[in-house]
Structure 1
Amino acid sequence: MKLAVLGATGQTGQNLVKQALQQGHVVTALVRTPSKLTLEHDNLKVIEANIFSEESLTAHFRDHDAVISCLGFSPAFFSYITGYTDSMKAAVNAMRQAKVNRMIAMTSWYTEPNSGTQSSYLIRFFLLPMIRSVLTNMHQMETFLQQNCDDINWTVVRPPGLMNQPASAKEFLTHEGYFVPDSSGYPVGNSVGRGDVARFMLSLLNSNAWVKKGVAMTTK
Protein backbone atom coordinates (compact mmCIF):
# COMPACT_ATOMS: atom_id res chain seq x y z
CA MET A 1 0.00 0.00 0.00
CA LYS A 2 0.93 3.65 -0.30
CA LEU A 3 0.87 5.24 3.14
CA ALA A 4 1.05 8.90 4.17
CA VAL A 5 2.42 9.14 7.70
CA LEU A 6 2.07 12.12 10.03
CA GLY A 7 4.33 12.28 13.06
CA ALA A 8 6.98 10.16 11.37
CA THR A 9 9.87 11.80 13.25
CA GLY A 10 8.46 10.85 16.66
CA GLN A 11 9.61 7.66 18.32
CA THR A 12 6.41 5.74 17.57
CA GLY A 13 6.29 7.19 14.07
CA GLN A 14 9.84 6.08 13.32
CA ASN A 15 8.96 2.54 14.43
CA LEU A 16 5.92 2.62 12.17
CA VAL A 17 7.79 3.90 9.12
CA LYS A 18 10.53 1.29 9.55
CA GLN A 19 8.03 -1.56 9.91
CA ALA A 20 5.91 -0.33 7.01
CA LEU A 21 8.94 -0.34 4.72
CA GLN A 22 9.93 -3.81 5.94
CA GLN A 23 6.42 -4.99 5.04
CA GLY A 24 6.78 -3.64 1.51
CA HIS A 25 4.64 -0.52 1.79
CA VAL A 26 5.51 2.74 0.03
CA VAL A 27 5.69 5.54 2.60
CA THR A 28 5.38 9.30 2.31
CA ALA A 29 6.47 10.90 5.59
CA LEU A 30 5.01 14.39 6.00
CA VAL A 31 7.08 16.11 8.64
CA ARG A 32 7.84 19.52 10.08
CA THR A 33 11.62 18.90 10.24
CA PRO A 34 12.88 16.43 7.60
CA SER A 35 16.37 16.26 9.11
CA LYS A 36 14.91 14.45 12.15
CA LEU A 37 14.09 11.41 10.00
CA THR A 38 17.43 9.90 9.08
CA LEU A 39 16.08 6.63 7.67
CA GLU A 40 16.71 6.14 3.97
CA HIS A 41 14.90 3.68 1.72
CA ASP A 42 13.91 3.47 -1.94
CA ASN A 43 10.22 3.33 -0.93
CA LEU A 44 10.42 6.28 1.47
CA LYS A 45 9.76 9.88 0.52
CA VAL A 46 10.27 12.53 3.21
CA ILE A 47 8.45 15.81 2.60
CA GLU A 48 8.37 18.97 4.67
CA ALA A 49 4.73 19.90 5.21
CA ASN A 50 2.49 21.99 7.43
CA ILE A 51 0.39 19.44 9.32
CA PHE A 52 -2.15 22.15 10.16
CA SER A 53 -2.75 23.14 6.52
CA GLU A 54 -5.22 21.32 4.29
CA GLU A 55 -3.56 22.89 1.27
CA SER A 56 -0.11 21.69 2.33
CA LEU A 57 -1.30 18.10 2.79
CA THR A 58 -3.74 17.53 -0.08
CA ALA A 59 -1.27 17.10 -2.94
CA HIS A 60 0.82 14.65 -0.93
CA PHE A 61 -2.20 12.53 0.05
CA ARG A 62 -3.26 11.95 -3.56
CA ASP A 63 -2.88 8.38 -4.84
CA HIS A 64 -2.32 7.05 -1.31
CA ASP A 65 -4.32 4.24 0.28
CA ALA A 66 -4.28 5.45 3.88
CA VAL A 67 -3.16 8.18 6.25
CA ILE A 68 -1.61 7.16 9.57
CA SER A 69 -1.12 9.70 12.34
CA CYS A 70 1.39 9.17 15.14
CA LEU A 71 1.41 12.86 16.04
CA GLY A 72 2.10 13.85 19.62
CA PHE A 73 2.01 17.20 21.41
CA SER A 74 3.49 18.11 24.78
CA PRO A 75 1.32 18.86 27.83
CA ALA A 76 0.52 22.47 28.66
CA PHE A 77 -0.21 23.65 32.19
CA PHE A 78 -1.36 27.21 31.56
CA SER A 79 -3.00 26.98 28.15
CA TYR A 80 -5.10 24.68 25.99
CA ILE A 81 -3.68 22.18 23.54
CA THR A 82 -5.32 22.20 20.11
CA GLY A 83 -2.72 20.34 18.03
CA TYR A 84 -4.64 17.08 17.83
CA THR A 85 -7.90 18.62 16.64
CA ASP A 86 -6.26 21.21 14.40
CA SER A 87 -4.08 18.66 12.62
CA MET A 88 -6.92 16.13 12.27
CA LYS A 89 -9.32 18.68 10.78
CA ALA A 90 -6.68 19.67 8.23
CA ALA A 91 -5.88 16.02 7.47
CA VAL A 92 -9.53 15.00 7.04
CA ASN A 93 -10.24 17.91 4.70
CA ALA A 94 -7.12 17.05 2.71
CA MET A 95 -8.17 13.40 2.56
CA ARG A 96 -11.54 14.41 1.13
CA GLN A 97 -9.89 16.54 -1.52
CA ALA A 98 -7.42 13.77 -2.35
CA LYS A 99 -10.11 11.05 -2.27
CA VAL A 100 -8.42 9.00 0.48
CA ASN A 101 -10.78 7.58 3.09
CA ARG A 102 -8.71 5.40 5.48
CA MET A 103 -7.29 7.06 8.61
CA ILE A 104 -5.57 5.37 11.55
CA ALA A 105 -4.69 7.72 14.41
CA MET A 106 -3.01 7.16 17.76
CA THR A 107 -4.29 8.69 20.99
CA SER A 108 -4.08 7.12 24.47
CA TRP A 109 -5.83 5.26 27.24
CA TYR A 110 -8.01 7.42 29.50
CA THR A 111 -8.89 10.17 27.03
CA GLU A 112 -12.47 10.24 28.30
CA PRO A 113 -12.43 12.32 31.53
CA ASN A 114 -14.03 9.68 33.76
CA SER A 115 -12.32 6.62 32.32
CA GLY A 116 -9.40 6.51 34.77
CA THR A 117 -11.37 5.75 37.92
CA GLN A 118 -10.18 2.11 37.96
CA SER A 119 -6.52 2.97 37.44
CA SER A 120 -3.90 2.88 40.17
CA TYR A 121 -3.62 5.69 42.72
CA LEU A 122 -0.40 6.95 41.13
CA ILE A 123 -1.88 7.11 37.65
CA ARG A 124 -5.25 8.51 38.72
CA PHE A 125 -4.03 11.27 41.02
CA PHE A 126 -0.57 12.07 39.68
CA LEU A 127 -0.01 11.08 36.04
CA LEU A 128 -3.46 11.80 34.57
CA PRO A 129 -3.68 15.33 36.02
CA MET A 130 -0.21 16.06 34.63
CA ILE A 131 -1.21 15.09 31.09
CA ARG A 132 -4.89 16.04 31.23
CA SER A 133 -4.40 18.87 28.70
CA VAL A 134 -3.13 16.30 26.19
CA LEU A 135 -5.86 13.77 26.97
CA THR A 136 -8.56 16.45 26.69
CA ASN A 137 -7.52 17.45 23.20
CA MET A 138 -7.13 13.82 22.16
CA HIS A 139 -10.71 13.24 23.30
CA GLN A 140 -11.87 16.29 21.35
CA MET A 141 -10.18 14.84 18.27
CA GLU A 142 -11.88 11.49 18.82
CA THR A 143 -15.24 13.26 19.17
CA PHE A 144 -14.61 15.16 15.94
CA LEU A 145 -14.05 11.89 14.09
CA GLN A 146 -17.14 10.31 15.62
CA GLN A 147 -19.45 13.23 14.88
CA ASN A 148 -18.13 14.70 11.63
CA CYS A 149 -16.44 11.96 9.65
CA ASP A 150 -19.07 9.45 8.52
CA ASP A 151 -17.41 9.47 5.10
CA ILE A 152 -13.99 8.52 6.52
CA ASN A 153 -13.03 4.98 7.53
CA TRP A 154 -11.18 6.05 10.65
CA THR A 155 -9.81 4.03 13.55
CA VAL A 156 -8.49 5.52 16.79
CA VAL A 157 -5.81 3.40 18.48
CA ARG A 158 -5.47 3.95 22.23
CA PRO A 159 -2.27 2.56 23.81
CA PRO A 160 -1.27 2.92 27.48
CA GLY A 161 2.08 4.42 28.54
CA LEU A 162 4.68 4.12 25.79
CA MET A 163 8.07 2.49 26.26
CA ASN A 164 10.94 2.79 23.80
CA GLN A 165 10.96 -0.87 22.84
CA PRO A 166 10.96 -2.47 19.38
CA ALA A 167 8.21 -4.67 18.04
CA SER A 168 7.79 -8.05 19.68
CA ALA A 169 5.78 -11.16 18.87
CA LYS A 170 3.48 -10.67 21.86
CA GLU A 171 -0.25 -11.22 21.46
CA PHE A 172 -2.40 -8.09 21.33
CA LEU A 173 -5.13 -7.43 23.87
CA THR A 174 -7.88 -5.09 22.66
CA HIS A 175 -11.06 -3.51 23.97
CA GLU A 176 -13.56 -1.07 22.51
CA GLY A 177 -13.13 1.53 25.21
CA TYR A 178 -10.64 3.77 26.98
CA PHE A 179 -8.42 1.07 28.48
CA VAL A 180 -8.08 -2.71 28.34
CA PRO A 181 -9.73 -4.28 31.43
CA ASP A 182 -8.99 -7.56 33.15
CA SER A 183 -11.75 -9.90 34.29
CA SER A 184 -12.42 -7.66 37.28
CA GLY A 185 -12.62 -4.45 35.26
CA TYR A 186 -9.21 -3.11 36.24
CA PRO A 187 -6.63 -2.00 33.66
CA VAL A 188 -4.32 -4.72 32.31
CA GLY A 189 -0.86 -3.28 32.93
CA ASN A 190 0.04 0.34 32.20
CA SER A 191 2.62 0.35 29.40
CA VAL A 192 3.40 -1.05 25.95
CA GLY A 193 6.34 -0.89 23.56
CA ARG A 194 6.18 1.73 20.81
CA GLY A 195 7.20 -0.93 18.30
CA ASP A 196 4.14 -2.99 19.21
CA VAL A 197 1.85 0.03 18.88
CA ALA A 198 3.23 0.57 15.37
CA ARG A 199 2.80 -3.14 14.62
CA PHE A 200 -0.83 -3.00 15.74
CA MET A 201 -1.60 0.13 13.72
CA LEU A 202 -0.18 -1.43 10.56
CA SER A 203 -2.17 -4.62 11.16
CA LEU A 204 -5.36 -2.57 10.85
CA LEU A 205 -4.65 -1.85 7.19
CA ASN A 206 -5.88 -5.35 6.36
CA SER A 207 -8.80 -5.43 8.79
CA ASN A 208 -12.24 -3.84 9.05
CA ALA A 209 -12.66 -4.90 12.68
CA TRP A 210 -12.18 -1.45 14.17
CA VAL A 211 -13.41 0.86 11.41
CA LYS A 212 -15.16 3.95 12.85
CA LYS A 213 -14.29 2.83 16.36
CA GLY A 214 -11.79 3.59 19.10
CA VAL A 215 -9.80 0.58 20.29
CA ALA A 216 -7.71 0.41 23.44
CA MET A 217 -4.78 -1.95 23.02
CA THR A 218 -1.83 -3.43 24.87
CA THR A 219 0.11 -6.70 24.76
CA LYS A 220 0.03 -9.83 26.91
Structure 2
Amino acid sequence: MKLSILGATGQTGLFLISQALQQGHEVKALVRNVSKITIQHQNLKVVEANIFSSESLEEHFKGQDTVMSCLGFQYKLFSSISGYSDSMKAIVTAMRQAGVKRMVTMTSWYTGPGSGINSSFFIRNLLIPLIKSVLTNMYEMEQYLEMECSDLNWTVVRPPGLQNNPATDKEIMTSEGFFVPGDDGYPVTNTVARGDVARFMLSVLNDEKWTRKIVAMCCKA
Protein backbone atom coordinates (compact mmCIF):
# COMPACT_ATOMS: atom_id res chain seq x y z
CA MET A 1 0.00 0.00 0.00
CA LYS A 2 1.21 3.52 -0.75
CA LEU A 3 1.09 5.63 2.42
CA SER A 4 1.57 9.37 2.92
CA ILE A 5 2.57 9.97 6.54
CA LEU A 6 2.25 13.35 8.25
CA GLY A 7 3.93 14.10 11.58
CA ALA A 8 6.65 11.73 10.47
CA THR A 9 9.43 13.33 12.54
CA GLY A 10 7.58 12.87 15.82
CA GLN A 11 8.15 9.85 18.06
CA THR A 12 4.94 8.09 17.03
CA GLY A 13 5.50 9.00 13.39
CA LEU A 14 8.96 7.42 13.40
CA PHE A 15 7.54 4.18 14.80
CA LEU A 16 4.81 4.31 12.16
CA ILE A 17 7.32 4.73 9.33
CA SER A 18 9.53 1.89 10.57
CA GLN A 19 6.64 -0.54 11.02
CA ALA A 20 5.06 0.40 7.68
CA LEU A 21 8.34 -0.29 5.88
CA GLN A 22 8.73 -3.59 7.73
CA GLN A 23 5.26 -4.57 6.51
CA GLY A 24 6.21 -3.82 2.91
CA HIS A 25 4.34 -0.56 2.40
CA GLU A 26 5.67 2.25 0.23
CA VAL A 27 6.00 5.32 2.45
CA LYS A 28 6.11 8.99 1.58
CA ALA A 29 6.99 11.05 4.67
CA LEU A 30 5.78 14.65 4.51
CA VAL A 31 7.88 16.88 6.75
CA ARG A 32 8.94 20.50 7.29
CA ASN A 33 12.62 19.59 7.50
CA VAL A 34 13.78 16.60 5.46
CA SER A 35 17.05 16.38 7.39
CA LYS A 36 15.16 15.24 10.50
CA ILE A 37 14.39 11.86 8.93
CA THR A 38 17.48 9.67 9.19
CA ILE A 39 15.79 6.39 8.21
CA GLN A 40 16.93 5.16 4.82
CA HIS A 41 14.98 2.57 2.85
CA GLN A 42 14.27 1.85 -0.79
CA ASN A 43 10.52 2.16 -0.13
CA LEU A 44 10.81 5.49 1.75
CA LYS A 45 10.61 8.90 0.12
CA VAL A 46 10.96 12.02 2.28
CA VAL A 47 9.48 15.26 0.93
CA GLU A 48 9.01 18.79 2.23
CA ALA A 49 5.42 19.96 2.63
CA ASN A 50 3.27 22.57 4.35
CA ILE A 51 0.61 20.82 6.43
CA PHE A 52 -1.61 23.91 6.38
CA SER A 53 -1.61 24.22 2.57
CA SER A 54 -3.90 21.94 0.57
CA GLU A 55 -1.98 22.90 -2.57
CA SER A 56 1.31 21.77 -1.02
CA LEU A 57 -0.22 18.50 0.20
CA GLU A 58 -2.17 17.63 -2.93
CA GLU A 59 0.87 16.95 -5.10
CA HIS A 60 2.19 14.49 -2.51
CA PHE A 61 -1.18 12.73 -2.08
CA LYS A 62 -1.68 11.98 -5.78
CA GLY A 63 -1.36 8.28 -6.51
CA GLN A 64 -1.35 7.35 -2.81
CA ASP A 65 -3.72 4.85 -1.19
CA THR A 66 -3.88 6.27 2.32
CA VAL A 67 -3.00 9.34 4.35
CA MET A 68 -1.85 8.75 7.94
CA SER A 69 -1.34 11.55 10.44
CA CYS A 70 0.56 11.63 13.74
CA LEU A 71 0.61 15.42 13.85
CA GLY A 72 0.91 17.01 17.26
CA PHE A 73 0.80 20.61 18.47
CA GLN A 74 2.09 22.06 21.73
CA TYR A 75 -0.43 23.11 24.34
CA LYS A 76 -0.89 26.73 25.36
CA LEU A 77 -1.87 27.60 28.89
CA PHE A 78 -3.73 30.82 28.34
CA SER A 79 -4.85 30.67 24.71
CA SER A 80 -6.48 28.29 22.29
CA ILE A 81 -4.76 26.35 19.54
CA SER A 82 -6.11 25.46 16.11
CA GLY A 83 -3.37 23.33 14.56
CA TYR A 84 -5.34 20.09 14.59
CA SER A 85 -8.49 21.43 12.93
CA ASP A 86 -6.64 23.78 10.57
CA SER A 87 -4.28 21.10 9.30
CA MET A 88 -7.09 18.56 8.97
CA LYS A 89 -9.12 20.90 6.78
CA ALA A 90 -6.11 21.30 4.50
CA ILE A 91 -5.51 17.53 4.51
CA VAL A 92 -9.15 16.76 3.64
CA THR A 93 -9.21 19.33 0.83
CA ALA A 94 -5.99 17.89 -0.60
CA MET A 95 -7.31 14.33 -0.33
CA ARG A 96 -10.45 15.22 -2.22
CA GLN A 97 -8.46 16.99 -4.92
CA ALA A 98 -6.03 14.08 -5.21
CA GLY A 99 -8.74 11.42 -5.15
CA VAL A 100 -7.56 9.71 -1.95
CA LYS A 101 -10.33 8.26 0.20
CA ARG A 102 -8.64 6.54 3.16
CA MET A 103 -7.20 8.31 6.19
CA VAL A 104 -6.07 7.28 9.68
CA THR A 105 -5.27 9.96 12.24
CA MET A 106 -4.72 10.12 15.98
CA THR A 107 -5.99 12.30 18.82
CA SER A 108 -6.19 11.33 22.51
CA TRP A 109 -8.35 9.99 25.29
CA TYR A 110 -10.59 12.55 27.02
CA THR A 111 -11.10 14.92 24.08
CA GLY A 112 -14.80 15.31 24.83
CA PRO A 113 -15.96 17.85 27.43
CA GLY A 114 -16.22 16.19 30.84
CA SER A 115 -15.01 12.83 29.53
CA GLY A 116 -12.22 12.58 32.10
CA ILE A 117 -14.54 12.45 35.11
CA ASN A 118 -13.58 8.83 35.88
CA SER A 119 -9.85 9.33 35.39
CA SER A 120 -7.32 9.49 38.22
CA PHE A 121 -7.04 12.57 40.45
CA PHE A 122 -3.81 13.63 38.75
CA ILE A 123 -5.20 13.35 35.23
CA ARG A 124 -8.59 14.85 36.09
CA ASN A 125 -7.38 17.81 38.10
CA LEU A 126 -3.89 18.52 36.78
CA LEU A 127 -3.14 17.02 33.37
CA ILE A 128 -6.46 17.62 31.60
CA PRO A 129 -6.65 21.30 32.68
CA LEU A 130 -3.01 21.74 31.59
CA ILE A 131 -3.58 20.40 28.07
CA LYS A 132 -7.18 21.58 27.72
CA SER A 133 -6.37 23.68 24.65
CA VAL A 134 -4.98 20.60 22.89
CA LEU A 135 -7.91 18.34 23.82
CA THR A 136 -10.43 21.00 22.80
CA ASN A 137 -8.92 21.41 19.35
CA MET A 138 -8.58 17.64 18.91
CA TYR A 139 -12.30 17.38 19.66
CA GLU A 140 -13.05 20.09 17.11
CA MET A 141 -11.09 18.08 14.54
CA GLU A 142 -13.01 14.93 15.40
CA GLN A 143 -16.31 16.78 15.08
CA TYR A 144 -15.26 18.14 11.69
CA LEU A 145 -14.55 14.63 10.39
CA GLU A 146 -17.81 13.26 11.75
CA MET A 147 -20.00 16.07 10.45
CA GLU A 148 -18.36 17.11 7.19
CA CYS A 149 -16.33 14.19 5.86
CA SER A 150 -18.80 11.39 5.19
CA ASP A 151 -17.32 11.07 1.69
CA LEU A 152 -13.98 9.89 3.11
CA ASN A 153 -13.09 6.60 4.82
CA TRP A 154 -11.44 8.05 7.91
CA THR A 155 -10.55 6.51 11.26
CA VAL A 156 -9.55 8.45 14.38
CA VAL A 157 -7.41 6.58 16.91
CA ARG A 158 -7.51 7.81 20.52
CA PRO A 159 -4.59 6.61 22.69
CA PRO A 160 -3.94 7.45 26.37
CA GLY A 161 -0.64 8.94 27.59
CA LEU A 162 2.17 8.13 25.18
CA GLN A 163 5.40 6.41 26.22
CA ASN A 164 8.42 6.47 23.91
CA ASN A 165 8.62 2.69 23.73
CA PRO A 166 8.54 0.26 20.79
CA ALA A 167 5.65 -2.02 19.96
CA THR A 168 4.87 -4.96 22.19
CA ASP A 169 2.93 -8.16 21.54
CA LYS A 170 0.25 -7.21 24.04
CA GLU A 171 -3.41 -7.55 23.12
CA ILE A 172 -4.95 -4.27 21.98
CA MET A 173 -8.16 -3.20 23.70
CA THR A 174 -10.62 -0.80 22.05
CA SER A 175 -13.73 1.21 22.83
CA GLU A 176 -15.92 3.59 20.87
CA GLY A 177 -15.69 6.13 23.66
CA PHE A 178 -13.33 8.71 25.09
CA PHE A 179 -11.27 6.05 26.91
CA VAL A 180 -11.11 2.27 27.31
CA PRO A 181 -13.03 1.25 30.47
CA GLY A 182 -12.52 -1.81 32.62
CA ASP A 183 -15.33 -3.84 34.14
CA ASP A 184 -15.71 -1.17 36.82
CA GLY A 185 -16.18 1.60 34.26
CA TYR A 186 -12.87 3.26 35.08
CA PRO A 187 -9.95 3.58 32.64
CA VAL A 188 -7.93 0.37 32.45
CA THR A 189 -4.61 2.23 32.14
CA ASN A 190 -3.08 5.69 31.78
CA THR A 191 -0.41 4.98 29.18
CA VAL A 192 0.48 3.11 26.00
CA ALA A 193 3.69 2.60 24.01
CA ARG A 194 3.95 4.79 20.91
CA GLY A 195 5.00 1.69 19.01
CA ASP A 196 1.70 0.03 19.91
CA VAL A 197 -0.25 3.07 18.70
CA ALA A 198 1.57 2.79 15.37
CA ARG A 199 0.86 -0.95 15.32
CA PHE A 200 -2.85 -0.35 15.80
CA MET A 201 -3.00 2.47 13.23
CA LEU A 202 -1.54 0.16 10.60
CA SER A 203 -3.87 -2.67 11.61
CA VAL A 204 -6.99 -0.63 10.82
CA LEU A 205 -5.95 0.14 7.25
CA ASN A 206 -7.86 -2.83 5.85
CA ASP A 207 -10.38 -3.18 8.67
CA GLU A 208 -13.77 -1.78 7.66
CA LYS A 209 -14.92 -2.13 11.28
CA TRP A 210 -13.38 1.24 12.07
CA THR A 211 -14.41 3.12 8.92
CA ARG A 212 -15.76 6.55 9.88
CA LYS A 213 -15.31 5.65 13.52
CA ILE A 214 -13.43 7.17 16.46
CA VAL A 215 -11.82 4.44 18.54
CA ALA A 216 -10.07 4.67 21.91
CA MET A 217 -7.31 2.10 22.30
CA CYS A 218 -4.73 0.80 24.74
CA CYS A 219 -2.97 -2.45 25.51
CA LYS A 220 -4.02 -5.13 27.95
CA ALA A 221 -1.74 -5.28 30.96
Give TM-score scaled by structure 1 length. 0.99
- Matched residue, 1:193: 193
Alignment of 1:75-94 (within 5 A): 75-94=75-94
Structure 2 counterpart of 1:183 = 183
Shift of 1:34: 1.2
1:154-201: per-residue Cα shift (whole Å, max 9, x none)?
A: 100000000011011110000001000001110011000000000000
Task: Indicate the RMSD between aligned Cα atoms, in angstroms.
Answer: 0.5
> How far does residue 78 in structure 1 lie from its aligned partner after superposition?
2.2
Q: Which residues of structure 2 form unaligned runs of 5+? A: none
Alignment of 1:39 with 2:26, yes or no, is no
* Cα distance in structure 2, aligned partners of 1:6 and 1:126: 30
Q: Report matched runs for 1:1-220 at 5 Å.
A: 1-220=1-220
Residue identity matched to 2:159:
P
Q: Distance in 1 between matches of 2:202 and 2:55?
A: 26
1 CA distance for matches of 2:116 and 2:123?
Answer: 8
Q: 2: CA distance between counterparts of 1:215 and 1:115?
A: 14
Secondary structure of 1:156's aligned partner: strand
In the TM superposition, what whole-angstrom CA distance separates every residue of 1:64-109 from its partner, at most 9, and x where no partner exists? 1100000000101122110000110000000000000101000000
Task: Output the amino acid matched with 2:36.
Answer: K
Which amino acid is the alignment partner of residue 117 of structure 1?
A: I
> What amino acid does structure 1 have at the position aligned with 2:145?
L
Q: Deviations over 1:106-142 (max 9, x none)?
A: 0000000110000011100000001110000000000
- The CA deviation at 1:38 is 0.8
Question: For the residues of structure 1 that align with 2:34 and 2:170, how far apart are their CA atoms?
Answer: 32
**Structure-2 separation of matches of 1:147 and 1:194:** 28
Number of equivalent positions: 220
Partner-residue secondary structure (3-state), 1:182? coil
**Distance in 2 separating the partners of 1:97 and 1:184:** 46
Secondary structure of 1:198 counterpart: helix
Following superposition, the deviation at residue 36 of structure 1 comes to: 1.1
SS of the equivalent of 1:47 reads strand
Which runs of 5 or more residues in structure 1 are unaligned?
Answer: none
TM-score by length of 2: 0.99
